[in-house]
Amino acid sequence: MDATESDVDRARSRSVLIVDDSRLQRKILSSLLSRWGFETWEAESAEAGLAICMSASPDFVISDWMMPGMTGPDFCKAFRQLERESYGYFLLLTSKSEKAEIALGLDAGADDFLTKPVSSEELRARLTAGERILRMQEELVAKNRLVTETLDKMNALYDSVDRDLQEARKLQQSLVKERYRSFGASDLSLLLRPSGHVGGDLVGFFPISARRVALFAIDVSGHGIASALMTARLAGYLSSSSPDQNVALIEGEFGIYDSYPPDQVAKILNHLTLTEMETENYFTMVFADLDLVSGEVQMVQAGHPHPLIHRANGEIEHVGAGGPPIGLIPEMDYDTFTVRLSAGDRLCIVSDGVTECPNADGELLDDAGTADLLRRNRDVKGTAFMEALTWDLSKYAGEQDFPDDISAILFEFGGAKVNAD
């Protein structure tokens, strides 16, 4: 069996509509096609053929060109306008050979032509060519269906992940259980705003003793789920609700807790990150041990932007000497530095989402711009200051979404805390 016969044999389940006003021509074609295994329908006019096409979906249509009423090209145009699940291959029977007439048939939507009188060999060849087109179209439809089904599954998965990320954001926000705390004459306010569903910033505090409180600001490298999981782990390491699990605290006699010096806290976290977390992420941090009576603040700065002290007289100081991030270099040493707050002074610690926030021209806010935001809002207190900071930062960014997480700590020292012993 040659290739042509094989192709036709594979088309035995195909159907053909024969439309011709000549009953003899229809019978000749129907006999040939039936012998080759095709299912056939006959119609004596284009109108009758169109009615059959509306109720059935023939794979092939063989139509005469010249017929009473609707012509073959007009029938082809109407056929192409029908809604079908599969492609229909349309052949025009014609005695015309002029290029203009052929072009007219192609413009009407015909796929091929058969010249009268019809040769059985030519008919078989035209059908074989058409079968290849139909098969390719069916394969394309199947692949498109597979792509559509895959996209639907991916969209469903994305929706599921999106819902999970929204819940993860709520859980991450819950890591900062208190956004405001009053310590007698002093006040502490926290800001945490992920740039996406979840982020890598974390701010918090925990009491060390009646007169001392620890503040920490953390920014994990990268974005997304991995960063968020690491912030959750770090929140556990610096837990305010479980002091026995807080790596910064030391339990002394009678269950009284004290804190390691800030540089030692950074070293402990560096060791834990490199040996226990098994992650490629690292993080920057400012950790502060603040005396609520004397106003003395011992701090370590590990790759985080410089803390700012807004003095009561309006002056702004950038403090700290820098230092490498945590989780990059084993056995790294960090340095503790000390500053002192006086009544009316404010300590502000921000993430690089603030200092590196770009405007519409790509210019970063930087340290000087951050200081300007503090000056602009010097009379705004507590959580209202955090709202004003976010508002001003949004205006600077040109109302566009922040490209990085935004977090900040504001400690407003009102003077020595009484009854702190």
Task: Specify whether the CB–CB gap between 177 and 203 falls below 8 A.
Answer: no
3-state DSSP percent of the chain in helix, strand and coil, to 5: 40, 25, 35
Listed in order, strand segments (DSSP E) in 20-153 are 39-43, 60-64, 89-94, 112-115
Mark 131-141 as b/e (b = at least 16 C-beta within 10 Å).
beebeeeeeee
pLDDT of res. 198: 62
- Tens digit of each residue's pLDDT (9 = 90 or more) over 70-94: 999 999 999 999 998 889 999 998 8
Q: Give the residue from 369, 383, 410, 397 showing the smallest Cα distance to 195.
A: 397
The pTM (predicted TM-score) of the whole model is 0.64
Q: Alpha-carbon torsion 77, 78, 83, 86, what sign?
A: negative
Q: Dig out the tokens for 27 from the structure.
A: 């019978």
Mark 229-250 as b/e (b = at least 16 C-beta within 10 Å).
bbbeebbebbbeeebeebbbbe
pLDDT of res. 127: 94
Report residues of the chain scoring pLDDT below 70: 1-12, 96-98, 161-176, 196-199, 224, 254, 399, 419-421
Q: Dig out the tokens for 284 from the structure.
A: 């920057």
Domains and CATH numbers, the chain: 3-143 (3.40.50.2300), 175-412 (3.60.40.10)
Contacts of 302 (CB under 8 A, 6+ apart): 266, 284, 285, 286, 287, 323, 324, 325, 326, 334
Residue 416 β-bridge partners: none
CA gap 308, 176 in Å, rounded? 22
Element spanning 151, H or E = helix 120-174
- Tens digit of each residue's pLDDT (9 = 90 or more) over 144-178: 889 988 888 888 877 776 666 666 566 665 666 77
Q: Dig out the tokens for 272 from the structure.
A: 């834990």
pLDDT of res. 231: 85
